[in-house]
Amino acid sequence: MAQIFHPGADTRLRLAMVALGGGLVLLFVAGDRFFGSDWFTGRGDHPAQPVPFSHQHHVAGLGIDCRYCHDQVERTATAGYPPTYTCMSCHSQIWTGAPVLAPVRASLAHDEPIRWQKVYDLPDFVYFDHAIHLKGGVGCSTCHGRVDRMPITAQAAPLTMGWCLSCHRDPAPHLRDPADLFAMDWQPGPDQRQKGEARMARLGIEPARLQNCYTCHR
Amino acid sequence: MTGRPEREIAALRAQLQGERGPRLWRSLEEIAESPAFARVLGAEFGGFALPEAGRRDVLRAMAASILLAGLPGCGKGPPDAVLPRVADPADDPPPDRPRQYATAVTFEGFARPVLATTYAGRPVKLEGNPDHPASRGATDAFTQAAVLELYDPDRSQSPTLLGKESGWDQAVQAMVTARRDWLRNGGEGVRLLVEPTTSPTFRRQIEALRQQLPQLRLHAFEPVGKERREAAARLAFGRPLALRYALEHAAVVVSLEDDLLGPGPAQVDHALGWSARRRGGHDAGAEAIRLHVAESTPTLTGAMADTRRIVPSARIPALVAVLAAALGRDGAPAAPELSADERGFVSSWASELRAHRGEALLAVGAHQPPEVQALALRVNAQLGQLGRTLLASEPVVWPGAEAAGTLQELVADMAAGRVQALVVLGANPAYTAPGDLDFTAALQKVPWRLHAGLHRDETAGFCHWHLPLAHPLESWSDARTVDGTATILQPTVRPLFGGRSVHEVVALLAGDPWARDREIVRATWRDRLDDDAWRAALRQGFVPGTAAAPVGDLAPSPAPIGLPPAGGDRGLEVVIRPDPSIWDGRFANCAWLQELPKPLTKLTWDNVLLVSPALAAERGLATGDVARITLGDRELRGPVWVQPGQAAHTVTAHLGYGRKRIGRVGQGIGYDAYAFRASTKPWLGTGAEIAATGDRHELATTQPHHRMDEYRPVRLVAPGKALEARPEEENQASLYPDWDYPEIAWAMVIDLDLCIGCNACVLACQAENNVPSVGKHEIGMGREMHWLRVDAYHDGDPLDPSFYFQPVPCMHCEKAPCEVGCPVNAAVHTPDGLNAQVYNRCVGTRTCSSYCPYKVRRFNWFEYAKPAEPIVAAHYNPEVTVRARGVMEKCTYCIQRIARARIDAALEDRPLKGSDVITACAAVCPTTAIRFGDRNDGASEVARAQKSPRHYGLLEELGVRPRTTYLARIADQGEKGEG
Amino acid sequence: MAAASPPRQRRIYRLPEGHEFRTVTEQVAAIPLHYPQRLRWWLGFIGSSLLLGLLIVSAAYLFSEGIGVWGNTIPVNWGIAISNTVWFIGIGHAGTFISALLLLTQQHWRNSLNRFAEAMTLLAATCAASYPLFHLGRPFFFYWVVPYPNTMALWPQFRSPLVWDFFAFATYITVSLIFWYIGLVPDLAAVRDRATRRLPQVLFGIFALGWRGSAVHWERWRRAYLLVAVVALPLVVSVHSGVSLLFAVGQIPGWHTTVFPPYFVLGAVFSGFAVVIMIAITLRHAFRLYDLVTRRHLELLGLWLLATGWMTAYGYLADAFMAWYSGDSFERGTLLDRLAGPFWPIYWGAVICNFVPLQALWFPRPRRSSFVLFVIAFLVTVGMWFERYMLVISGLFRDFLPSSWGGYVPTFWDWGIFFGLIGFFLFFFFLFVRFLPAVSMFEIKEAVWEEEHDT
């Protein structure tokens, strides 16, 4: 009787099997890449804001200190968004007629808050505290990146739990002197590890506790 | 989290005010969509772990079907909007930091001084005011529930005319016209029905109103109240007095049906005094307080008594008479015949009282006939207790009998058509009036009726006008604690539902619709407090030196006091008591209190008829059978509960249930005992009959089994003895290495000798930790969510058992089975010794709970945390995650407080101390039975308690090394003690 | 091989002299190719499809509403979801036992049984594995139990028996699948060669992996088969020991005992054999395979059932004895609750169904009667279900503190999932019987050959 398969069938079968096995591995790797990808973590996202506020201009250009607007950052969990009042403390004098600032003036006029879009939006079961991070020596740019180079503010870090833990498990490389906290261009020096560890010792920072779940989750 | 929710809530309020009738709720949904509201509810709560929208959900769905490598637990939802404030925030505190206001909530007119913790303008938790002499940081359960009461969406939302939505403007209009007629004849036929209050401002306003309307008559009615005690004071001393027990000075207390430690306006006061004395007794030498109780139905006082005797309520007068005869010198009526047993303990108590002149106390229940109480007061006076254990002062509550008529008189006048207009302020007589008065029928005869209250309740339904009152946490007012100290109530939030404070309503009656409560209250105190003193009073939460003036040199009126005729002793006696969880029904719509297990039965969501095991056997009744009680022509149907320790032929019925009109939570459950109540004998009915109807009623209890078996969770020691360790109690070896706690090791010690089972800790925990209530059905299945439960056991002869309480939070074991069981590291041990539960990591295998020997873990079988109405979510504590469906949760030792304290300490460059943190349960405990602190700090109370000879751990023999431990109950019934 | 086979074993197969081999092939291959019992098959298949539908509905409702739709409570966190997991995986045991252990011990009579026994194993194990997923509070996060590199930088908690069980189940199912498939290959080829229509030819052809029956093929096949058998052997013990540790690790009275692993394993084999017997008898009569699944087979199975039954009974006794001997009041309390507590019918149901009818198997006649054997096997299956229920629920409902005692009543949705999964099992078993050689042809031939040259 006639052959069911032609001679090449076996080879194809073998190839197919190899492909199947390889495919599984590939899927695994691809998945890992995907969930670390910027698209998924939102790194680089820059939601549209009611006012095209440029940190680059205000920080690099005018040299305004972070705390001029984010005035609670050293006291409380949230850095705090500036009230319209703060914007107007300058813009009642300069650019008073600029159309881009219309929403700001409207906000003051109608006592209506400006509706900024959150750039760094952590899950609600994460309890992040700005003040304690500054106290420990983690500077702004460590998580927020070179804000002074951002015409439009974007998310500079993946904000995945792994990313948080990478520092909580070994803070030393990231801890600065209080003087440098708000320096945008801070770079770790060669002796950073010693300095960092010294700081940890001085403040009693123990990774054992930092990486405990209840440090961030309650 | 920067913005001004105060203003947003105000805006929301404005929208709500615009709404009328059924549209209201729909529109609330719409508002819930509005960003402003989303912000108040969403962004404000740090905590929502309920499933987030966006990409994550899609991926979750995928995940459920196929295993995706590398899928993280949390991705990124759409960004939230943030609304910074417009004005300069310099004057405000950081919005994500709590702010505390010293104020008070009221209960039966008395102030409960509190510190209201608010987040961005939302009160979320009430702490007792530690500086206040009558609180010292403690509160009762009712006070803890006030927050939920505030956000109750069933509260009255706007004035109504004939049940239809109306507005304040129309209401004001109507008042103005009504006043015109009143003024014509000086208020002839105008009646005012109020609840007795302690508010000086209220009193001032009403007296001013009477100036305008001399003919206006005032009536006062409190369904539970203390009017019989006031009458007794008048009988005994010939003048109105405020009487108060100072248990801290008492060595011997004989209580005849006086539930000193039970719920009520004086509970905290008594608990503080009793525990101070009792705790003193723990140290060698000092003499403890001895408590002897005779009662017909078990109470918390009876449970904590050194000797408890079971007598019918109707026998109390006789016992008092005999005691009086034995102790008093003059004016005692002829002592009636006693049984041998009664004679036995009465005489021994009499001699004990005599032996402790000056620090003895004879307390008789406020529900007993005035003559009986008067007799007891006189005995105390003759023993020289006045000014020592029995403090008499000028009246604190107003109006008393001389200032106001009774409800009976009002009903008589209404029935006779002598009432042209009736204004009901706060009270709810249509529900609470004794059945035989037939209040509602009489009410219909009144041509003009107005009711003001928190809810559109039964009375509102029978009135033309109803005005919504603002909650104490929403309004300015003033009130006095039992000792008379005045507190200025300040609002912690603007009225959520557009209610007005009672003072504004009275001002409205007085023809001043524009007066605002702040000015009204300020005016009361202007001559007494200058602006600085006023601010100081607001800051510290009370006005110093306002305690009621003590009345010295009281001469007991020599007039002989005759006892009321004893009711016939045939048939059963029915005693009526306020419900321990929802009191007289005012709290019926508060889910927390409905679900609060009643101290001895652990029953929720129902009231029952308590019968003794003997009677149950005699009449073939079992718990859950629906029985019918007949007394004369009155009858009462309700489910039976067989209660050990109940007097053989006494049936106890509880008030507060069977409400027809209050809200979705509280109406239509339980039976209405008011309808059964007789105005002449409101507390006791004799000659009743009980019979099974054949029906059954499902009862939901959190603890089906109350008997201690051979294993005794609650351990006893004879006074002065040490607890001998169980043989197995040396720590067993463990496969796992021991933890070391270099810095702080948190621990909790609970003194079972001080715990009175009052449940304050349970509700404090619920309020602090966003613990949801789950409803009767879920409770019935055994799915209650309370992180902290108070186990109630009884032991010994079921006819006359001893009662024990045992609060059981998480034990935070050092060798925790839950940590071994959890496959995903959601139950983990922390460096300071806690078993942390990581909700967002939990997948819900429930292994931890299966392995937990104490079964203290709670599981979110459904989306319990999702509020019925968006506004209810406003009570959630933003510092605590709100748990999603399918997640395990449990006591965390208030980890949010620990975290906050740790961060604050670090910011202030100081090491964290154990004393920096106190858990919600420990803070609220009126007897300081719960102690929390750092075990490593030898000086801490916890460390010292752990060295006590009464110290033991629950189920120690399992080797799990619990760090919540107990101090044994001291019981001098030798045979019952283990020692 | 022949040399190693046990001496003077009684003959099992009685096939027409001369063409034994053809008869075997014809009888078996006939089933997938031109199917004999169409009507009965369709009835059974539709029935099981309905049950499968119930599973889908119940699961959908469960996932949309939450675990609350079940009867679980605190303290009974684990209801029949877990007890059924144990029950199913137990049934799954007989497959590997028969395939691997009996293969390596040269019990040739196994050759008529291993094919469908393994199919049963696969399906039962799948049901068992799916149950924990249904029972999770947040099933969409089930993969957190698996160690894999992730952006949370977290591992599972390896001390937890659940993690062990995940590995045990995964390994067990994989190995069983491979073993089953390897065994199938030669028969698939045989069916392929008998197929006349194109489609079956191609399909069977593909899965036969180009088997031509050359000596090389046979030599390699044999090596692979034995190799996997050796790998599978420890699983017979490991899987159910792992499951038993899920309980024994917890300190709950009635769980916290060292007898659990053997107790569970033996019980598992016991229940497994019971189900194998039911299937064997059904197939035997449905397809008249009287020559291939002979009375002798039934007799041997009966003996196995009796033996494992008594070993399980020993487990009961040891459990009770330890409860008494330990002197631990909680252990004793749990024992008394089982004997006379609210769940007494469960305990005594287990004891009676498992051990009383079993005793009939001491005698040869009931052993040979397929009807009696079937009834006994069925009762044992039910009895073992009772036992699992008893172990899980009556351990939990009253543990230590009287205050936290509770009860448990399964709801409709509990049962929905359970019977739905039974439907799932039957559904795929029907498909297996319909489309694959349900009995291993070549292995029977081998056995027959060896028998003849043995006598």
Q: Per residue in A164-190, pLDDT tens?
A: 999 999 999 999 998 899 999 899 889
Answer whether the bond into residue B644 is a cis peptide, omega within 30°: no
Question: How high is the pLDDT of residue C449?
Answer: 77
The predicted model gives B314-323 an average pLDDT of: 90
Distance from CA of C320 to the nearest CA of B (A): 20
User: Please, what is the angle between helix C80-91 and helix C370-396, to 10°?
Assistant: 140
Distance from CA of A86 to the nearest CA of B (A): 7
Chain A segment 79-138 residues within 8 A of B by beta carbon are: 80-86, 107-108, 111-119, 121, 123-125, 127, 129, 131-132, 135-136
Chain A segment 169-188 residues within 8 A of B by beta carbon are: none
B437 sits in which H/E element: none
Answer whether the bond into residue C132 is a cis peptide, omega within 30°: no
Q: Is C39 on the interface with B (CB under 8 A)?
A: no
Q: Tell me: the pLDDT tens digits for B523-572?
A: 999 999 999 999 999 988 999 989 888 887 787 777 777 777 766 667 89
Chain B segment 86-125 residues within 8 A of C by beta carbon are: none
Asked if pLDDT for residue C36 goes beyond 50, the answer is: yes
Asked if pLDDT for residue B193 goes beyond 90, the answer is: yes
Asked if pLDDT for residue B5 goes beyond 50, the answer is: no
Question: How high is the pLDDT of residue B975?
Answer: 37
Please check whether residue B270 is in contact with residue B247, taking contact to mean a CB–CB distance below 8 angstroms: yes
Indicate which of B736, B824, B849, B888 best probes the interface with C, i.e. most C CBs within 10 Å of its own CB: B824
Asked if pLDDT for residue C46 goes beyond 60, the answer is: yes
Q: Tell me: the pLDDT tens digits for B436-460?
A: 999 999 999 999 999 999 999 999 9
Report chain C residues whose CB lies below 8 A from the CB of A9.
Answer: 205, 210
Indicate which of A29, A32, A92, A124 best probes the interface with B, i.e. most B CBs within 10 Å of its own CB: A124
Q: Tell me: the pLDDT tens digits for C389-421?
A: 988 988 888 888 888 888 899 999 999 999 999
Which of B155, B157, B169 has its CA nearest to residue B23?
A: B157
Measure CB to CB from residue C77 to each of B60, B846, B884 and give the nearest one: B846
CB contact under 8 A, B76 and A121: yes
C134 phi and psi angles, rounded to 5 deg: -55, -35
CB contact under 8 A, B711 and C400: yes
Q: Is B415 on the interface with A (CB under 8 A)?
A: no
Q: Is C403 on the interface with B (CB under 8 A)?
A: yes
Report chain A residues whose CB lies below 8 A from the CB of C210.
Answer: 5, 9-10, 13
Question: How high is the pLDDT of residue A92?
Answer: 85
CB contact under 8 A, A161 and B73: yes
What is the reported pTM? 0.89
Q: Is A9 on the interface with C (CB under 8 A)?
A: yes
Distance from CA of C217 to the nearest CA of B (A): 36
Q: Is C399 on the interface with B (CB under 8 A)?
A: yes
Report chain A residues whose CB lies below 8 A from the CB of B77.
Answer: 121, 123
CB contact under 8 A, A213 and B836: yes
- State in Å, rounded, how far the first CA of chain B is from the last one: 58
Q: Is B954 on the interface with C (CB under 8 A)?
A: yes
What contacts B259, CB < 8 A, 6 or more positions away? B295, B299, B300, B301, B365
Measure CB to CB from residue C74 to each of B711, B849, B885 and give the nearest one: B849
Asked if pLDDT for residue C345 goes beyond 60, the answer is: yes
B and C: number of Cβ contacts within 8 A: 193
The predicted model gives B67-84 an average pLDDT of: 44
Q: Is B808 on the interface with C (CB under 8 A)?
A: yes
Q: Is B890 on the interface with C (CB under 8 A)?
A: no
Residue recorded with tokens 């159309």: A99
A116 sits in which H/E element: strand A116-117
Q: Which amino acid is at C437?
A: P
Report chain C residues whose CB lies below 8 A from the CB of A165.
Answer: 152-153
> Between β-strands B969-970 and B716-717, what pairing exists: parallel, antiparallel or unpaired?
parallel
Chain C segment 66-125 residues within 8 A of B by beta carbon are: 66-68, 71-78
Distance from CA of A127 to the nearest CA of C (A): 16
A and C: number of Cβ contacts within 8 A: 33
Please check whether residue B878 is in contact with residue A104, taking contact to mean a CB–CB distance below 8 angstroms: no
Cβ–Cβ contacts within 10 Å for residue B383, how many? 22
CB contact under 8 A, C402 and B793: yes
Q: Is B858 on the interface with C (CB under 8 A)?
A: yes
The interface predicted TM-score (ipTM) is 0.90
Q: Tell me: the pLDDT tens digits for B400-430?
A: 888 899 999 999 999 999 999 999 999 999 9
Looking from the CA of B956 toward its CB, the CA atoms found within 13 Å total 17
The C-alpha angle C57, C60, C66, rounded to 5 degrees, equals 125
Indicate which of A1, A4, A210, A216 best probes the interface with C, i.e. most C CBs within 10 Å of its own CB: A4
CB contact under 8 A, B2 and A78: yes
At residue B14, the 3 state secondary structure works out as helix
Q: Is B71 on the interface with A (CB under 8 A)?
A: yes
Measure CB to CB from residue B76 to each of A31, A34, A41 and give the nearest one: A41
Asked if pLDDT for residue B226 goes beyond 90, the answer is: no
CA–CA gap between residue B53 and residue B56 (Å, rounded): 7
Question: How high is the pLDDT of residue B660?
Answer: 92
CB contact under 8 A, A162 and C153: yes
Q: Is B824 on the interface with A (CB under 8 A)?
A: no
* Strand partners of residue A116: B82
Q: Tell me: the pLDDT tens digits for A145-171?
A: 999 999 999 999 999 999 999 999 999
DSSP string, B637-700: EEEEEE-TTS-TTEEEEESS--BSSS-TTTBT-S--STTT--SSSSSEEEEEEEEEEEEE---E
Which of B281, B279, B312 has its CA nearest to residue B720?
A: B281
CB contact under 8 A, C74 and B783: yes
CB contact under 8 A, A115 and B97: no
CA–CA gap between residue C432 and residue C180 (Å, rounded): 12
Which two tokens mark C382? 């039910």
Q: Is C411 on the interface with B (CB under 8 A)?
A: no
Mean pLDDT of chain B, nearest integer: 86
The predicted model gives C432-439 an average pLDDT of: 86
Report chain B residues whose CB lies below 8 A from the CB of C329.
Answer: 710-711
CB contact under 8 A, B55 and A40: yes
Distance from CA of B776 to the nearest CA of A (A): 28
Distance from CA of C202 to the nearest CA of A (A): 7
Asked if pLDDT for residue B789 goes beyond 70, the answer is: yes
Answer whether the bond into residue C75 is a cis peptide, omega within 30°: yes
Question: How high is the pLDDT of residue B638?
Answer: 95
Report chain B residues whose CB lies below 8 A from the CB of A159.
Answer: 76
**CA dist B302 to B309, B559, B795, C394, Å?**
8, 33, 14, 36
CB contact under 8 A, A123 and B52: yes
Indicate the pLDDT class of residue C4, thresholds 50, 70 and 90. very low
Report chain C residues whose CB lies below 8 A from the CB of A36.
Answer: 151
Q: Which amino acid is at B356?
A: H
A and B: number of Cβ contacts within 8 A: 166
Asked if pLDDT for residue B1 goes beyond 50, the answer is: no
Beta strands in C114-216 (DSSP E): none
CB contact under 8 A, C210 and A13: yes
A60 phi and psi angles, rounded to 5 deg: -70, -50
Q: Tell me: the pLDDT tens digits for B243-301?
A: 999 999 999 999 999 999 999 999 999 999 999 999 888 876 567 889 999 999 999 99
Which of B622, B610, B594, B591 has its CA nearest to residue B651?
A: B610
Which of B155, B146, B148 has its CA nearest to residue B113?
A: B146
Question: How high is the pLDDT of residue A84?
Answer: 86
